[in-house]
Amino acid sequence: MSERRLRAIRGAVPVDRDEPPCIYAATRELLSAITERNAVATEDIISVIFTVTADLRSAFPALAARAMGWIDVPLLCTMEIPVPGALARVIRVLVHVESERPRSAIEHVYIGAAQALRPDLPHQ
């Protein structure tokens, strides 16, 4: 068995509209993909930082994580830097986990139009 180490997993997902159901659905999609692709169980999660673009103000993405059962995981929501020309209506995440996987085997997840944020990564 390999040693468990702290790993960081990045991801992003676009949101159709600034409405709570849209924010929650996009967040669930992103977190589910991250945990599935990286074989992460809830007890492996150390903490999560969410950022949202300035045009997403109707709900906290962290509420979707809580609804997924991430009750005792420290979660933080903050705003993305409003860079001119940046992709609009995007939730980004940084998930800190304990994992046996080497850093090179971690799969970062960028969904839909958010794939443009990391063209250097293979996307599924």
Which pLDDT score, from 0 to 100, does residue 1 have? Answer: 60
Looking at residue 78, its pLDDT comes to 98
Tokens of 121: 């990564």
Structural domains present in the chain: 5-117 (3.30.1330.40)
pLDDT per residue as tens digits for the range 44-57? 999 999 999 999 99
- Residue 108: closest CA among 16, 5, 2, 7: 7
What is the rounded (10 degree) CA torsion for 75, 40, 119, 49?
A: 10
* Residues 20 and 27 sit within 8 Å (Cβ to Cβ): no
Q: Is the pLDDT of residue 22 over 70?
A: yes
Is 103 a residue whose pLDDT tops 70? Answer: yes
* For residue 124, pLDDT beyond 80: no
Q: What is d(CA 9, CA 98) in angstroms, rounded to the nearest whole number? A: 11
Q: Give per-residue pLDDT as tens, 58-71.
A: 999 999 999 999 99
Provide the pLDDT confidence category of residue 90 given band limits of 50, 70 and 90. Answer: very high
